[in-house]
Structure 1
Amino acid sequence: MVTDTEGYVHIIEYLTEHLSLFENSADATSNGKTVMAVIENELSEQIISVCSQNEALSFNQRNTVIREVDSIVYDLQEILSGVVNNNVTPEQNMFIKEFALLIKNLFDTEIHTHLLA
C-alpha cells in the first residue's frame, strides 16, 4: 500500500538526508523519552487520525494500514538502530513529528487514490 510507493522512498531519503540530527546524541538531556518511544507515539497519533478521518475504511483496510505502520516502524528501527534507545533531543523530537506527518500525508493520498476511489 504505502511502503511500496515512490512517495515512501522519498520520505526515507528525506530521513537519511537528516541522519546527522541523530548523531552524537547519546548524552542528550530530554524529557526521558527515547527516540523509539517518540517515533511510536507520533506514528500512532497520526495513524489514529488517518483512520478516524476515513470512516469508510473497512476492517481489512484498517488492518492493512496498521500492518504498513508496523513495517515503517521496523524500517525506522533498522535505519536508526544505533540511537533508538537514546533519549530524544528537542530537535529530534521536532523532526520525528514532521516525519510522522509526512507518513500521514502519504497514507491520506494512498487511501483517497486507491482505497476509496
Structure 2
Amino acid sequence: MVTDKPGYEHLIQFLTEHLSLFEQRGPVVAGAKTLGEVLEESIAEQIIQLCTQHTELEMNHRSMIVREVDGILYDFQEVLASVLEEPATEQQTELIQEISLLIKNLFDTAIAALMD
C-alpha cells in the first residue's frame, strides 16, 4: 500500500538524513518518554486519526493498513535501535511527530487512490 512506493523511500531517507539529531543528547524534560514510546504513540495517534477520517474503509483495508504500520514501525525501530530506550528530547519528539504526519499523508494518498 505505501511501503513499496517512492514516498516511503523518501521518508526513510528523510529519517537517515536526520540521524545526527538522535546521536546528540540535548536537554531532556523530567519524566520524558523514551524515543521508542514517542515513536509508537505518535504513529498510533496518526493511524487512529486516519481510520477515523476514512469511514469508507472496509475491514480488509484497515487490516492492510495495520500490517503496513507494523512494518513501518519495525523499520524505524531498526534504524533507531541504539537509542530507543533513551529519553526523547524536544527536538527528537518534534521530528518523530513530523515523520508520523508524513506517514499519515502517505496513507491518505494511498487511500484516495484505492477509493478511485
User: Under TM normalisation by the shorter chain, which class is it?
Assistant: over 0.9
Query: Is 1:29 aligned to residue 28 of structure 2?
Result: yes
Amino acid at match of 1:7: G
Specify the SS of the correspondent of 2:82.
coil
Contact 1:35 1:84 in 2 (8 A): yes
Q: Distance in 2 between matches of 1:28 and 1:83?
A: 15
Query: Is 1:81 aligned to residue 70 of structure 2?
Result: no
Q: Distance in 2 between matches of 1:89 and 1:29?
A: 5
Q: Which runs of 4+ in 1 moved over 6 A?
A: none
The share of aligned pairs that are identical, in percent, is: 49
Specify the SS of the correspondent of 2:11.
helix
Amino acid at match of 2:5: T
Which position in structure 2 is the counterpart of 1:19?
19
1:42 Cα deviation after fit: 0.5
Specify the SS of the correspondent of 1:86.
coil
Q: Distance in 1 between matches of 2:88 and 2:32?
A: 8
Which position in structure 2 is the counterpart of 1:106?
106
Query: Is 1:71 aligned to residue 71 of structure 2?
Result: yes
Q: Distance in 2 between matches of 1:110 and 1:63?
A: 14
Specify the SS of the correspondent of 1:51.
helix
RMSD (CA atoms):
1.2
Structure 2, unaligned stretches of length 5 or more?
none
Which position in structure 2 is the counterpart of 1:45?
45
Structure 1, unaligned stretches of length 5 or more?
none
Specify the SS of the correspondent of 1:61.
helix
1:28 Cα deviation after fit: 5.1
Specify the SS of the correspondent of 2:100.
helix
1:32 Cα deviation after fit: 2.5
Amino acid at match of 1:42: S
Specify the SS of the correspondent of 2:81.
coil
1:24 Cα deviation after fit: 3.2
Greater helix content: 2
Q: State the number of aligned residues.
A: 115
Q: Distance in 1 between matches of 2:52 and 2:24?
A: 38
The two structures have a TM-score, normalised by structure 1, of 0.94
